[in-house]
Structure 1
Amino acid sequence: MFRRGQKTYVIAEIGANHNGDMELARKMIRTAKDCGSDAVKFQSWDTGIFSRTVYEENTFLKDDYRDRDDYTLKEIVAEFAVTEAELTALKSYCDEVGIGFASTPFEPEQVDALVRIGAPFIKVASMDLTNDYLLRHIGRTGLPVLLSTGLGTLAEIDDAVRVLEGTGNRNIVILHCVSLYPPDDSQVNLNNIDMLAEAYDYPIGYSDHTIGTEISLAAMAKGACVLEKHFTLDKDMFGWDHKVSANPEEMAAIGQGRDRIFAALGSKRRTVAPEEEEKKKAFRRSVVSQRDIAAGEIIDAEAITYRRPGTGIPPNLAHLVIGATATKAIRADSLIDWHDIDPSDA
């Protein structure tokens, strides 16, 4: 499903941006398809993702519910969670629309649900890069695994890859990722795509948390075979990730850019297009007489110059003209032809 050198597979990461509203989720699926995305991805967590301590503190990173009277942290997590039945319905809708479906599981039971639903691959969140227990369970499904590497050192990435390989699963895509929302440009380090490609024989992709489209497009040009980008219909919508997500205009730009970039990357084999061959005649230069040259005159370097078009003797063969005898009179500023000279004297 994934290989090096393929056209970038674009995943519109809906995550929890459906806000628990399945009609909104379906609208996002349709819009992602219209934007040219290859797949949408959800997240399969439930309230078990946090321990009691977090819920008692009622705050997590920037999600502070201590002074709110509408939701507690646990209530908003429950509100935005999706059940297996809802994911099954969303998968069916994706099939109907003609776009790929995926989700990120956070517990073995959620992995099993995705297998039952028919997800074509499993995405591992950066937070679980060191969760060997979950990695083994995912690896044993035999499904392709997209391994996000945010928060991770190279040693931790290597350990995670070895854990997956230990299950017999070598259908792995390693996603470069920076788990900041958003990172500064100087923190993105897209050259890690090259580093990972040199370190592993697996396809390399990129999970993008930057604002805008430029970094996504640059990652594609670096050879990312998968691009994951958070997606929203409205950056100002209530919820967790909307502000750092691509809106439909940006996602469409990524989809269109992907097609152009793939076409433009082409091959490492050097070729000259037939259209370029035609351009040679107009663009390149020929040996031209700098002054009048008399018949029988031995042509020296000062007697010639190089001008367009390129239909005569090319400059890299000028050494065959210099020292040759003119077989006829040549007017100034004329293309010199092989019939005009006797190169045996050169």
Structure 2
Amino acid sequence: MDMKIKIKGKHIGRDCPVFVIAELSANHNQVFNTAVRTIKAAKNSGADAVKLQTYTPDTMTIDADNKEFLVNHPVWGGQSLYQLYKKAYTPWKWFKRLKKVADDLGIILFSTAFDKSSVDFLEELDVPVHKIASFELVDLPLIEYAARTRKPLILSTGMAAIKEIEEALAAARRGGAKDIILLKCVSSYPANPKEMNLRTIPDMERRFHCPVGLSDHTLGAGTAVAAVSLGAVMIEKHFILSRTINAPDGFFSIEPGELKGLVKDIRTAENSLGKVRYGLTREEKESVVFRRSLFVVKDIKDGEFLTEDNVRSIRPARGLKPKYLKRVIGKKARKDIPRGTPLTWDAIKR
């Protein structure tokens, strides 16, 4: 099974460069120029794509303040879901202009769709890929609807049991999706690294036969880089110009310098993975001389016995291999051998 997909000319999968997404989310603070500057900063920081979120308060929930709709969170608490989404949503009238900004910069722009109307809206913009958030993974009709676009589909799997992921994949495939990426995710903000369980990534790849990435809500870059070493082919991080901006998602987002460092570390990690290989590398050939070998460490006269006192295993590797030490001890020299001479077979009487 081909485990590679393509998004706007970029191949994603094993042995391909990791696809890095800067999640803009609510970090524009509903200021258009901030959104533009954030997209430019994502491009300059080395991200492959920038992602938006397509919803309104009314497509997400209803305007109600009974206890079922109140937010319980140390940062977002003290308001209803409707009030939170009203502060956080991206105005839909921005999208066409933001996509042009991204297209002109040469960075891919796409968005998370939260209902059928947002899928339709994003199709009008001709985004190259659709994303379904972890909280919507149980909305199987939405997944099937997005899959009918026949575009690549990214499914975040925060909170999801195996059965729920299987059901989401089945819905996507019923809809006609051929190219699906699963994102390992922990849906807490910020996420605790101890709860990330990144070893699930290769298991997801084997179990569900899909490329797997990471939607990372932990603070810092360490978790994302570790995920790459375990096979993650896509990394998504929330991104903000500065955490001093009082934006809803700013407290767990990374800044431009941090994103640039993350991209650099990801590229180093993916280059370091290589393949299963033993023996000298090309660059190690210059270092092999600094291995140990057998040297004469005291002057030895012709006919004198070789002992552990006058022959030792030392650096560099100009003499016999150290594994021959026991074989040469007790043998006689067939000529004078000055101190500092690499020991060779022609200097020993057999």
TM-score normalised over the length of structure 2: 0.87
Q: 1:64 offset after TM fit, Å?
A: 4.6
Task: Give 1:113's aligned amino acid.
Answer: F
Say whether 1:157 aligns with 2:165: yes
Q: 1:105 offset after TM fit, Å?
A: 0.4
The answer on whether the counterparts of 1:4 and 1:202 sit within 8 Å (CA) in structure 2 is: no
Superposed, which structure 2 residues align to 1:1-346 within 5 Å?
1=6, 2-52=12-62, 54=64, 59-62=70-73, 63-64=76-77, 74=82, 77-78=85-86, 80-270=88-278, 272-281=280-289, 283-296=290-303, 299=306, 304-318=311-325, 321-322=328-329, 325-342=332-349, 345=350
Q: How many Å separate the matches in 1 of 2:92 and 2:277?
A: 48
Task: Give 1:304's aligned amino acid.
Answer: V
The answer on whether the counterparts of 1:142 and 1:169 sit within 8 Å (CA) in structure 2 is: yes
The answer on whether the counterparts of 2:62 and 2:82 sit within 8 Å (CA) in structure 1 is: no
Residue 133 of structure 1 aligns to a residue whose secondary structure is helix
Residue 124 of structure 2 aligns to a residue whose secondary structure is helix
Cα deviation per residue 1:173-213 (whole Å; 9 max; x = unaligned)?
11100000012221121222232133232111000111122
Classify 1:11/1:236 alpha carbon distance in 2 versus 1 (closer, same or farther; 3 Å). Answer: same
Residue 336 of structure 1 aligns to a residue whose secondary structure is coil
Q: Which residue of the partner structure matches residue 3 of structure 2?
A: none
Q: How many Å separate the matches in 2 of 1:44 and 1:21?
A: 16
Q: How many Å separate the matches in 2 of 1:53 and 1:81?
A: 15
Question: Which runs of no fewer than 5 residues in structure 2 stay unpaired?
Answer: 1-5, 7-11
Q: How many Å separate the matches in 2 of 1:269 and 1:165?
A: 38
Q: How many Å separate the matches in 2 of 1:142 and 1:319?
A: 70
CA RMSD between the two structures: 2.5
Q: How many Å separate the matches in 2 of 1:54 and 1:338?
A: 91
Task: Give 2:70's aligned amino acid.
Answer: T
Q: How many Å separate the matches in 2 of 1:327 and 1:32?
A: 72
Cα deviation per residue 1:1-53 (whole Å; 9 max; x = unaligned)?
22123222110100121122221110000011111111110000112234336
The answer on whether the counterparts of 2:294 and 2:313 sit within 8 Å (CA) in structure 1 is: yes
The answer on whether the counterparts of 1:54 and 1:60 sit within 8 Å (CA) in structure 2 is: no
Q: How many Å separate the matches in 2 of 1:75 and 1:292?
A: 89
Cα deviation per residue 1:228-252 (whole Å; 9 max; x = unaligned)?
0011112132331111111122112
The answer on whether the counterparts of 2:294 and 2:322 sit within 8 Å (CA) in structure 1 is: yes
Q: 1:323 offset after TM fit, Å?
A: 6.2
Q: 1:78 offset after TM fit, Å?
A: 4.1
Q: How many Å separate the matches in 2 of 1:285 and 1:252?
A: 42
Task: Give 1:340's aligned amino acid.
Answer: A
Cα deviation per residue 1:242-295 (whole Å; 9 max; x = unaligned)?
1111112211211221222222222223352333111111x1111123544443
Residue 60 of structure 1 aligns to a residue whose secondary structure is coil
TM-score normalised over the length of structure 1: 0.88
Classify 1:184/1:113 alpha carbon distance in 2 versus 1 (closer, same or farther; 3 Å). Answer: same
Number of residue pairs the alignment of both structures matches: 337
Q: How many Å separate the matches in 1 of 2:225 and 2:308?
A: 50
The answer on whether the counterparts of 1:5 and 1:223 sit within 8 Å (CA) in structure 2 is: no
Classify 1:75/1:311 alpha carbon distance in 2 versus 1 (closer, same or farther; 3 Å). Answer: same
Q: 1:148 offset after TM fit, Å?
A: 0.4
% same residue: 31
